[in-house]
Amino acid sequence: MSLTSPRRGPAAVILLLVVLTAAAVALVALSACGTSDTASTDASPSPSGITVTDDAGNTVALAQPAERIVSLAPANTEIVFAVGAGDKLMAGTSYDDYPEAAKDLPKVGDFSNPSVEKIASFNPDLVLATGGIQAGLLKKLEKLGMQVYVLEPKTYDAVMRTITNVGQLTGTSDQATTVVDGMQKAKDDVQAAVGSLDPAATFLEIYSKPLMTAGTDTFIDDMIRIAGGTNLGAMAGSGFPNFSSEVLFRENPAVYIADSGSMSKPGPIAKRAGYAELDAIKNGHVYVIEDSLIARPGPRLAQGLQELAKMIHPEAYGTE
Amino acid sequence: MTRLAHTRAWPGIALAASILGVCFVLSLALGPASLSLDQIWHSVTTGPVSGDLSNAIFWEIRLPRVLLAFLVGAELAVAGVILQDLFLNPLTDPYVTGVSSGAALGATIGIVLHLANLPWMAVLALIGGLATLGIVWISARRRGRIDIFVLLLAGVTIAYLASAVVTVLMIRANEDMYAIVYWLMGSFSGRGWSEVEIALFAMPFMIVPLVFATEMDILLQGEKRALELGVEVERTKRALLITAGVLTAIAVSVSGIIGFVGLVVPHIVRLLVGPGHRSLVPVSLLVGAAMMGIADLLSRTVISPNEIPVGVVTTFVGAPLFVYLLRRGSKR
């Protein structure tokens, strides 16, 4: 192999590296523009109607309580049923499975890709959407003149605020207040039980291949903290990041909780390679939790929070 | 021909093997858990024991993962060499035969049925890959012989079909979507000895192209010329295609779809040692293993505790190297 033109090679490589660098800069710039979420309960029951601010920061105003609601996420559907407005729900998504009545609703498509036409065909006066994956859809719906409320709570308290707001919008504030009080009571009970205990290092597995966890800016992270744990996943960043198995072993959590349901069954966790050496497995502090109790920002988070607390601090509940 | 036949293979193989050796040591010594060299040496000398966390990190997490990356890299690189030279097409990679898409379909079915954490997933992927190979094979058989171009077209067509079915399953199994996406991206995260065992089944198949090295050299001049020179063309093609298919299916079943290694390693090695298969096959095997090992090392260490998908790293490492060698090679 001759090197008659050693300069041309590096030049091409440098050009390539420049392109890659530009792409990297674009990527960083892209991820820098985060979204702010501040659902506020400054609902003004003024004579003119109902006004609330959703999790995307948009103001949603209705002249009278919604009568024809379309839900675009399983959690949203659960909330509507919980506040007692289930009879006003015209349609949901194909993944709605709770409560039982939700399964019988007409479907507007999938959570990630609902059909705009189908939504419009129900002529809804309120659409309950989520952020992220549905952001592109929102503009289309708003262009069609629909009132869209975005549910994207990032903490346990934010879920309670969201439920209050949905209660306002559907004219069922009383029952919404009951639901929220129940959630608050669950939180108070948990805090009374575990608040004074040392936080236990907890790893929450969302998925195993690759290993994924819940990071900061998620209500799961918030709930682990309320339940008296420190979330190892927080060190991997926000959202639902992947997580190095080696770091999991180095950190050696006291409690290992695997989420089961929507993504996969975790299988026999203690039998996984090397897991027998983890303190959590040695001490029997390895648990499986139903996905919809911790990953769906709805009223059942109260139950999820209590289960988390019992898993993270069994001693506080006399179950150990 | 004469030049190829007389090129000595051993210096290249020895060099590639020593590079792989260095990669092996580096991959075992470095990792996000930052074990000290003392701890690693202690783990190596005591062997796998229970009750010691750093020992478990070394024996149960790091070592199987490194071995798996090496095996998958070697499998894809060898499959790449075979297919590029059989199809006489430089753009061929192990995934054009449709085998990987079939394997992806098998794995997707496993995910949708929530078998994701069992060896079932790998088995289903393997079955999917081999079934696809069978379909493509039957489509391309004409009066007892395999038409390579029909095979290529059938492979691409079946690949699209399988991908379409995967997409449909993704839409139907809404919340499994992320699991499928992650699987398709390819990764060595969370893999252990059970995957290594599956990948080891590929070892005997990696010897096949070495046995057929001379035939493969001659086939580079076209099937007609090979027939004239007395090569049993159909038998050779059959053995090599099955080998490439099995290697790809096994690699995909344990790691998902990891691009670039199977395409680029054969080219890089060809530029370095020439097209003679007595060198090309073993050196590609070793370089493929080393490249995948380094890519996985970067994937698990650079942004720890997060991981970069290994397919992204192989591309980042491989693309500049390949462009550099192409520029150099074109001046020969």
Check residue A257 and give its pLDDT: 96
Please provide the average confidence, as pLDDT, over all residues in chain B: 86
* Of residues B305 and A175, more confidently modeled: A175
Highest mean pLDDT among A211-215, B5-9, B257-261: A211-215
Check residue B72 and give its pLDDT: 96
A182: distance to nearest CA of chain B, Å? Answer: 28
Q: Are A108 and A84 in contact (CB under 8 A)?
A: no
Please provide the average confidence, as pLDDT, over all residues in chain A: 85
Residues 6 or more apart in contact with residue A135 via CB below 8 angstroms? none
In this predicted structure, the answer to whether residue A6 has a pLDDT above a threshold of 70 is no
Q: Where are the domains of chain B?
A: 2-329
Q: Does domain B2-329 have CATH number 1.10.3470.10?
A: yes
Task: Tell me which DSSP letter residue A287 carries.
Answer: E
Q: What are residue A288's DSSP bridge partners?
A: A258
Tell me which chain A residues have a C-beta less than 8 angstroms from the C-beta of B32. Answer: 244, 246-247, 250
Check residue B100 and give its pLDDT: 87
Mean pLDDT (whole number) for B231-235: 88
B134: distance to nearest CA of chain A, Å? Answer: 29
Mean pLDDT (whole number) for B291-306: 91
How sure is the predictor about B2, in pLDDT bands with cuts at 50, 70 and 90?
very low
pLDDT in tens, A118-157: 898 899 999 999 887 787 788 888 888 889 999 999 999 9
The answer to whether the A50-183 and A196-317 domains have the same CATH topology is yes
The radius of gyration of chain B from alpha carbons, rounded to an integer in Å, stands at: 20
* Of residues B95 and A18, more confidently modeled: B95
Least confident of A158-162, A240-244, B118-122, B317-321: B118-122
Q: Looking at chain A from residue 187 to 216, which residues have their Cβ under 8 Å from any Cβ of chain B?
A: 207-212
How sure is the predictor about A31, in pLDDT bands with cuts at 50, 70 and 90?
low
Check residue B283 and give its pLDDT: 96
Domain at A50-183: CATH architecture = 3-Layer(aba) Sandwich (3.40)
How sure is the predictor about B7, in pLDDT bands with cuts at 50, 70 and 90?
low
Nearest to A8 by CA among B331, B301, B10, B106: B331
Output the six-digit token pair for A191: 């805090």
Q: What are residue A256's DSSP bridge partners?
A: A203, A286
Residues A246, B190: C-beta atoms closer than 8 Å: no
In this predicted structure, the answer to whether residue A5 has a pLDDT above a threshold of 50 is no
Residues B114, A274: C-beta atoms closer than 8 Å: no
Question: Measured between CB atoms, does B296 come within 8 Å of chain A?
Answer: no
Mean pLDDT (whole number) for A266-282: 87
Output the six-digit token pair for B162: 């399988």
Question: Which residue in A has a C-alpha nearest to residue B193's C-alpha?
Answer: A273
H/E/C letters for each residue in chain B?
A: CHHHHHCCCHHHHHHHHHHHHHHHHHHHHCCCCCCCHHHHHHHHHHCCCCCCHHHHHHHHHHHHHHHHHHHHHHHHHHHHHHHHHHHCCCCCCCCCCCHHHHHHHHHHHHHHCCCCCCCHHHHHHHHHHHHHHHHHHHHHEECCEECHHHHHHHHHHHHHHHHHHHHHHHHHCHHHHHHHHHHHHCCCCCCCHHHHHHHHCCHHHHHHHHHCHHHHHHHCCCHHHHHHCCCCHHHHHHHHHHHHHHHHHHHHHHHCCCCCHHHHHHHHHHHHHCCCHHHHHHHHHHHHHHHHHHHHHHHHHCCCCCCCCHHHHHHHHHHHHHHHHHHHHCCC
∠B180-A205-A223 over CA atoms, to 5°?
A: 120
Highest mean pLDDT among B118-132, B134-148, B155-169: B155-169
The CATH number of the structural domain formed by A196-317 is 3.40.50.1980
Full-model pTM:
0.81
What percent of chain B shows pLDDT beyond 70? Answer: 93
In 10 A of CB A35, how many CB atoms? 11
How sure is the predictor about B176, in pLDDT bands with cuts at 50, 70 and 90?
low
Q: Are A149 and A52 in contact (CB under 8 A)?
A: yes
In this predicted structure, the answer to whether residue A33 has a pLDDT above a threshold of 50 is no
Q: Are B283 and B16 in contact (CB under 8 A)?
A: yes
Question: Which residue in A has a C-alpha nearest to residue B182's C-alpha?
Answer: A210
Check residue A226 and give its pLDDT: 95
Check residue A80 and give its pLDDT: 95
Residues B117, A267: C-beta atoms closer than 8 Å: yes
The dihedral region occupied by A296, where left means phi > 0, alpha psi between -120 and 50, and beta the remainder, is beta
* Of residues B4 and A20, more confidently modeled: A20
Check residue B99 and give its pLDDT: 86
In this predicted structure, the answer to whether residue A223 has a pLDDT above a threshold of 80 is yes
Residues B189, A242: C-beta atoms closer than 8 Å: yes
Q: Are B276 and B217 in contact (CB under 8 A)?
A: yes
How sure is the predictor about A267, in pLDDT bands with cuts at 50, 70 and 90?
confident
Tell me which chain B residues have a C-beta less than 8 angstroms from the C-beta of A113. Answer: 171
Q: Looking at chain A from residue 16 to 35, which residues have their Cβ under 8 Å from any Cβ of chain B?
A: 16-17, 20
Residues A95, B175: C-beta atoms closer than 8 Å: yes
* Of residues B258 and A28, more confidently modeled: B258
How sure is the predictor about A303, in pLDDT bands with cuts at 50, 70 and 90?
very high
Least confident of A249-253, B37-41, B60-64, B183-187: B183-187
How sure is the predictor about B133, in pLDDT bands with cuts at 50, 70 and 90?
confident
Question: Which residue in A has a C-alpha nearest to residue B60's C-alpha?
Answer: A274
Nearest to B81 by CA among B199, B241, B257, B222: B241
Q: Where are the domains of chain A?
A: 50-183, 196-317
Residues 6 or more apart in contact with residue B196 via CB below 8 angstroms? B64, B67, B68, B71
Residues B319, A16: C-beta atoms closer than 8 Å: yes
How sure is the predictor about A261, in pLDDT bands with cuts at 50, 70 and 90?
confident
